[in-house]
Amino acid sequence: MNFKNIESQSFDFQEKINCFVGDNGVGKTNVLDAIYYLSFAKSYFNPVALQNIRHGEDFFMVEGNYLLNDREEKIVCSLKKGQKKVLKRNDKAYEKFSEHIGQFPLVIISPADRDLIVEGSETRRKFIDGVISQQDKAYLQHLIQYNKVVSQRNALLKYFAANRTFDALNLKIYDDQLIEHGSIIYEKRNVFLEKFVPIFNRKYQKISNDKEFVNLVYKSQLHTMSFTELLKNSLEKDKVLQYTTVGTHKDDLNFEIDNFPIKKFGSQGQQKSYLIALKLAQFQFIKEQSNVTPILLLDDVFDKLDEHRVAHIIDLVNNDEFGQIFITDTHEDRTENAVKQSNKPYQIFNLNSYEN
């Protein structure tokens, strides 16, 4: 209800493949985002929660009924202007939203993923953190604490500068916490990528028909120096700039094709294949780690791909490793032809015929 451009709508989904077709602007992606919301208590496309309320209304609500391990579960997420967002599972409100992450694992593949290639390092860190957090509660807590400490340390550095003072003992309290949480984050990212990169490579080879070699390289200041040394060496710089210039919040991932940055040397089709492989690897990784098959959202995924690559994606989807899949497309015929080949039960919702 009142979610983005949708006034009120309910759907009964097929347990395998569900397709939303219709013109641009009818709200296909918004339906996917509502499903995403129920897993993460936030939008995939717009981080400003209030902007997800339909124009002219003062609240939104998204409700979903799930079957998880043969148990029925009801998830409701709602937001009213001037109040805090509420997330409930079986009518019981969560105190911390972080407790919900990973309970209903989900992977989305969308044109917005292009940000992973073109934007700065924060976008790629969010990707890696999102994958690990869905199946490692402790990691998520270390991450929340670490980011909190970075903010506190930055505030202290600003205070020192404004008051022309310096207190090494006070700073050390934050440094010790950064080292504690940051070192664990670094180790867990390393372990994750050791498992993840081979899966990703296999997915890409399958989509591209073994045409190119791709890689994912973890960049971290901690590769060459301990966290303690990093903080010691950067102290003067931190004092001048009034923020923390080193640590795991500066980590990055290099996306490479044939040992060159894909951002500069990959074609549009190669970049799209790279991102789809990345997300399918995320899907397999989460499934293996959590023993729950994630929901898969494919937003406008057939666009800008040649028929050969589309066929490969349908092949992958036809594989029994997938559970429930949601697909959006502007072309009903293209979607129908694609899902027909999958031999799986499917349902097509033409949103042009839904009145909002």
pLDDT score, position 304? 66
Contacts of 250 (CB under 8 A, 6+ apart): 121, 220, 221
| pLDDT of 283 higher than 80 | yes
Which of 126-135, 214-223, 272-281, 302-311 comes out lowest in average pLDDT? 302-311
C-alpha span between 73 and 71 (Å, rounded) = 6
Q: Helices 307-318 & 268-290, crossing angle to 10 degrees?
A: 10
Q: Which of 316, 306, 301 is nearest to 111 (CA)?
A: 301
272 burial via Cβ count (<10 Å: 0-12, 13-18, 19+): buried
Q: Residue 335: what pLDDT?
A: 83
Compute the chain's Rg from CA coordinates.
Answer: 22
For residue 113, pLDDT over 50 is answered with yes
Q: Is-contact 17 327, C-beta < 8 A?
A: yes
Tell me the three state secondary structure of residue 67. Answer: strand
Per-residue model confidence as pLDDT tens digits over 12-56: 999 889 999 988 888 899 999 999 999 999 999 988 899 999 999
As a whole number of angstroms, the distance between CA 147 and CA 140 comes to 11
The residue among 299, 333, 279 whose CA lies nearest residue 24 is 299
Taking Cα atoms as reference points, which of 107, 123, 110 lies closest to residue 324?
107
Over residues 51-75, the mean pLDDT reads 94
Tell me which amino acid residue 203 is.
Answer: K
pLDDT above 60: residue 148: yes
Residue with tokens 């919040």: 249
3-state helix, strand, coil in the chain (%, to 5): 50, 20, 30
- What are the tens digits of pLDDT across the range 236-271? 999 999 999 999 999 999 999 999 999 999 988 889
Q: What is the mean pLDDT of the chain?
A: 91
